[in-house]
Amino acid sequence: MTTLITGGAGFVGLALAERLRADGEQVVLFDRAAPPAAMLARLGRDSLGILLGDIRCPIDVDAALRSANADRVVHAAAITPNAEREAREPMAVVDVNIGGTANLLQRCAVGRSGVRRVLVLSSVAVYGVTPPAGTRYDEATSVPAPAALYGITKLASEQTALRLGALYRLDVRVARLGPVYGPWEYATGVRDALSPHAQIMAAAIGGQPVVLPRAMRADWLYSRDAAGALAALLAGDALRHTLYNVGGQAMSDLVQWCEGLAANYPGWSWRLLEAGEPADAATVRYNLPVDRAGLCIDRLRADTGWAPAVSLAAAVEDQMAWQA
């Protein structure tokens, strides 16, 4: 099997590439630029292809599909903007997140490239900040209500991909990822804020104190677990749905993450923002104004057997080993 990953030089793309190659598969990364040398050194170049191009350009995508000769495509190319970039570059966000999706699906069909499955990566951001009817967001009952341009464009990307998949008779599946953290995360220029976990880790390594704006509770998804879920959706031969939530299942917060790291960094300090302190006293940035409800993963578990395998304690240990 050969898998082409658009946006493959990014966080989730690299995590998935590591997993697929560990499973003995060929991987081709398609992105505007190659991953940093340090990332390539970790990943290794055996059975790994790197193709450069723009997801919005038909010529670039056609060339990538021909060169990769892939059985499957994972569409991870996207811009994840903060409010400042939303205001500054709205057309770029729309062009990449929606237009890039449409271009990819059309090129897969027009070129008759032999692609057997297209897995489109979406986000919990499509649900917005409206609380779910139950305890978690469910694919069948939770109505999307995106609150920012990223969620708006990811929802439109989902719908575009599924509609074109039906028109072109392509096997298209959508994975809505929860908030991801862990190995392979770095500043790519298309994600305006690293995960809070990465921000805290960088501060701990540099000996800088951390002030959390709040505990920030969510079903945080470790990147190795995310990669396992995506690999299961790529390989699944009994998928009954087109849309799947991918979440970390267990709820945790940044206080727990700081507590885990503190044991490994003697002398490092962290605390929560105190009542009455100005918001800009916080040193960790998190774009959501409220904590995020978790994702129901019953559908994914039933169809693939996948479940998160990395506990918070194991994630701390694994992340420490990665940083070392």
What's the DSSP call for residue 127? G
Number of C-alpha atoms within 13 angstroms, CB side, residue 228?
15
Number of C-alpha atoms within 13 angstroms, CB side, residue 262?
13
Total number of domains in the chain:
1
Range of the domain at 19: 2-183+222-248+294-308
| CA-based nearest residue to 17, from 53, 40, 64 | 40
Q: Specify if 100 maps to a domain.
A: yes
Q: Which residues of 238-277 are buried (b: 16+ CB within 10 A; e: fewer)?
A: ebeebbbbbbbbebbbbbbbbebbeeebeebebebbeeee
Token representation of residue 259 = 């507590």
CATH of the domain at 241: 3.40.50.720
Token representation of residue 17 = 């590439």
Per-residue pLDDT of the chain (324 residues; tens, 9 = 90+): 899 999 999 999 999 999 999 999 999 999 999 999 999 999 987 779 999 999 999 999 999 999 999 999 999 999 999 999 999 999 999 999 999 999 999 999 986 668 999 999 999 999 999 899 889 999 999 999 999 999 999 999 999 999 999 999 999 999 999 999 999 999 888 888 899 999 999 999 999 999 999 999 999 999 999 999 999 999 999 999 999 999 999 999 999 999 999 999 999 999 999 999 999 999 999 877 788 899 999 999 999 999 999 999 999 999 999 988
